């Protein structure tokens, strides 16, 4: 007899979601994670009196999180409290010019009109199309497995309007879609950051991703107490239903017999048996390391090896004893769309740091939630992109400290933001630290690269074709990284399990 009905490897949002639903449906479930806290990237780090998020910084597509709690007979508001975020973004350009976009569609139109009346009219069309695309396409696929072409076809047959809003933009790039609507350089630049939310430059990201610039106007929130309150809320419900969480437990191997999984082996040699294993680990790690070349067919090994991991995203965490010259939860320090493309080809692909090309997403969550820092103090997270092995040096051999100095200097010199005068604490999570902390290969923040050929049914399936009882969730599966997509992967994987074993 097995120790558990189901073992979930990895307490990220996808794993937590699957575990909570399985336990609630009567499966005796064990949740394992190598960290000392649940949440994976959606976690926190306490540095002195300051609490920092270690991954995502806001939440959108809220219905996905509500669905998790509904599925287990609970109400989300009993576990997680939302704080509305408005404005959505503040912007600072090279000339030090500040402006912001509110949640309001009409309010954003007014801001855009100050740059271009033509682009303001284009915003009306863009927002109308975005609203329909969100309702009739994106929201539908958010919790659907779509692991094969036939599965994707079935979803589209049930929802014929999807093709109207997806097909025209699947074969275009993010940049082509964006510049097809907007012409003013400042407006285009203000909306080009979203391509990097899937880890690709505007010229390579799929066109439908451009509508992320609208989806945030449907409402974004921040969980009171920090982003880790989302995984903690789901985990609390899981434990209330009798689920077991075992932290500081690294899984080194998935055990198999014939074509079935039989459990897992921990790094210390402990074996735990189950006929079902759900992983929230990067699919490359699952197949290349936890199973290994000798236990998967050649075609599968070749396929998994062909996937490229996503871009790393170093994060600088700052605690300051005075309010910075920022007014928004998110501030995007940017230049041009051409610069955003050049960063990919001339820097990241050449393993060079970004230097003066650098852009920055600054998250100041303490402006929304003052519980994250002492009274009058603030926390800031500075996020950009850099190579895993830059030619300029080794992150573990002095580059980390130099990177911090260079970024703080750049913020002051290029964008007019002095973040050093009142600095109390500073920490850098570079790609190597990120890899060690979250077991993401090469510090890949979004799991796998997510161009059109590596999206939806072209990503690793949520149900293994090699071993019965093996399922996958998380950023390397359908829909990729982000709070809603990874939670959606847990919902979708559970649906597959229930069809197989319910």
What is the domain-level CATH number for residue 303?
A: 3.50.50.60
Hey, what are 28's tokens?
Answer: 């005796």
> How much is the pTM?
0.95
Task: Tell me which of 218, 237, 259 is where a domain ends.
Answer: 218
Residues 100 and 195 placed together within one structural domain of the fold: yes
Q: Using CA atoms, how far apart are residues 251 and 30, in angstroms rounded to an integer? A: 12
Which residue segment(s) compose the domain that 112 sits in?
Answer: 87-140+169-218
The total number of structural domains in the chain stands at: 3
Q: Provide the CB-side half-sphere exposure for 149 (13 A, CA).
A: 1
Would you say residue 400 lies in a domain?
yes
What does each of the 502 residues of the chain score in pLDDT, given as a tens digit?
899 999 999 999 999 999 999 999 999 999 999 999 999 999 999 999 999 999 999 999 999 999 999 999 999 999 999 999 999 999 987 777 889 999 999 999 999 999 999 999 999 999 998 888 888 777 777 787 877 777 777 777 777 777 776 777 878 999 999 999 999 999 999 998 889 988 999 999 999 888 877 888 888 999 999 999 999 999 999 999 999 999 999 999 999 999 999 999 999 999 999 999 999 999 999 999 999 999 999 999 999 999 999 999 999 999 999 999 899 999 998 878 999 999 999 999 999 998 888 788 999 999 999 999 999 999 999 999 999 999 999 999 999 999 999 999 998 888 888 988 899 999 999 999 999 999 999 999 989 988 877 777 778 889 999 999 999 999 999 888 899 999 999 999 999 999 998 7
- The DSSP result for 122-184, as a single string, is HHHHHHHHHHHHIIIIIHHHTT----SHHHHHHHHHH-THHHHHHHHHHSSBHHHHHHHH---
Would you say residue 262 lies in a domain?
yes
Q: Using CA atoms, how far apart are residues 381 and 53, in angstroms rounded to an integer? A: 8
Residues 302 and 373 placed together within one structural domain of the fold: no
Would you say residue 450 lies in a domain?
no
Residues 250 and 319 placed together within one structural domain of the fold: no
Q: Using CA atoms, how far apart are residues 178 and 189, in angstroms rounded to an integer? A: 10
Residues 292 and 400 placed together within one structural domain of the fold: no
Would you say residue 1 lies in a domain?
no
Question: Shortest CA distance to 255 belongs to which of 448, 87, 4, 70?
Answer: 4
Would you say residue 160 lies in a domain?
no
Residues 18 and 64 placed together within one structural domain of the fold: yes
Residue 147 near residue 462, CB atoms below 8 Å = yes
Residues 211 and 257 placed together within one structural domain of the fold: no
Question: Shortest CA distance to 441 belongs to which of 305, 259, 341?
Answer: 305
Would you say residue 147 lies in a domain?
no
Residues 94 and 181 placed together within one structural domain of the fold: yes
How far apart are the two ends of the chain, measured CA to CA in Å? Answer: 19
Angle, CA 279 vertex, CA 212 and CA 39 arms, to 5° = 60
Q: Which residues 6+ apart lie within 8 Å of 219 measured at CB?
A: 60, 62, 84, 103
Residues 99 and 191 placed together within one structural domain of the fold: yes
Residues 230 and 200 placed together within one structural domain of the fold: no
Residues 375 and 357 placed together within one structural domain of the fold: yes
Residue 349 near residue 387, CB atoms below 8 Å = no
Q: Using CA atoms, how far apart are residues 497 and 491, in angstroms rounded to an integer? A: 10
Residues 402 and 479 placed together within one structural domain of the fold: no
Residues 341 and 434 placed together within one structural domain of the fold: yes
């Amino acid at each position: 007899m097995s120790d558990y009905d189901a073992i979930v490897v990895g307490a990220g949002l996808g794993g937590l979601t699957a575990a909570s639903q399985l336990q609630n449906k009567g499966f005796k479930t064990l949740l394992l994670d190598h960290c000392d806290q649940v949440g994976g990237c959606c976690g926190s780090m306490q540095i002195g009196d300051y609490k920092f998020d270690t991954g995502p910084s806001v939440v959108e597509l809220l219905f996905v999180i509500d669905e998790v709690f509904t599925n287990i007979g609970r109400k989300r508001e009993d576990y997680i409290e939302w704080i509305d975020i408005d404005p959505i973004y503040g912007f600072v350009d090279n000339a030090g010019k500040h402006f912001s976009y509110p949640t309001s569609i009409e309010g954003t139109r007014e801001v855009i009109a100050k740059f271009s009346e033509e682009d303001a009219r284009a915003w009306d069309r863009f927002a109308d199309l975005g609203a329909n695309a969100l309702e009739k396409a994106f929201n539908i696929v958010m919790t659907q497995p779509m692991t094969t072409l036939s599965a994707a076809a079935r979803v589209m047959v049930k929802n014929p309007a999807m093709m109207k809003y997806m097909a025209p933009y699947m074969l275009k790039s993010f940049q082509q879609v964006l510049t097809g609507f907007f012409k003013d350089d400042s407006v285009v630049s203000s909306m080009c950051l979203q391509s990097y939310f899937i880890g690709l430059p505007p010229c390579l990201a799929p066109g439908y991703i451009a509508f992320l610039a609208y989806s945030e106007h449907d409402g974004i929130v921040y969980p009171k107490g920090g982003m880790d309150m989302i995984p903690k809320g789901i985990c609390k419900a899981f434990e209330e239903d009798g689920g077991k969480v075992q932290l500081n437990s690294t899984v080194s191997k998935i055990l198999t017999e014939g074509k079935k999984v039989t459990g897992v082996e921990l790094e210390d040699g402990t074996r735990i048996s189950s006929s079902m294993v759900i992983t929230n680990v990067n699919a490359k790690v699952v197949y290349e390391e936890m199973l290994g070349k000798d236990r998967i067919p050649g075609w599968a090994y070749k396929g998994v090896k062909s996937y490229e991991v996503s871009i790393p995203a170093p994060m600088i965490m700052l605690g300051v004893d005075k309010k910075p010259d920022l007014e928004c939860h998110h501030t995007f320090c940017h230049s041009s769309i051409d610069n955003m493309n050049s960063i990919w080809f001339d820097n990241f692909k050449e393993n060079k740091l970004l230097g003066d090309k650098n852009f920055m997403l600054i998250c100041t969550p303490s402006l929304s939630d003052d519980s994250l820092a002492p009274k009058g103090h603030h926390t800031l997270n500075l996020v950009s992109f850099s190579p895993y092995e830059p030619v300029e040096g080794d992150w573990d051999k002095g580059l980390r400290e130099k990177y911090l100095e260079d970024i703080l200097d750049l913020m002051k010199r290029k964008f007019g933001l002095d973040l050093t005068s009142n600095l109390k604490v500073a920490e850098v999570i570079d790609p190597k630290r990120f890899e060690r902390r979250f077991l993401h290969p090469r510090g890949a923040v979004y799991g796998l690269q997510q161009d059109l050929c590596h999206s939806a049914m072209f990503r690793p399936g949520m149900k293994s074709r090699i071993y019965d009882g093996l399922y996958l969730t998380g950023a390397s599966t359908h829909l990729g990284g982000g709070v809603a997509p990874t939670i959606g992967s847990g919902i979708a994987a559970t649906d597959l399990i229930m069809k197989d074993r319910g």
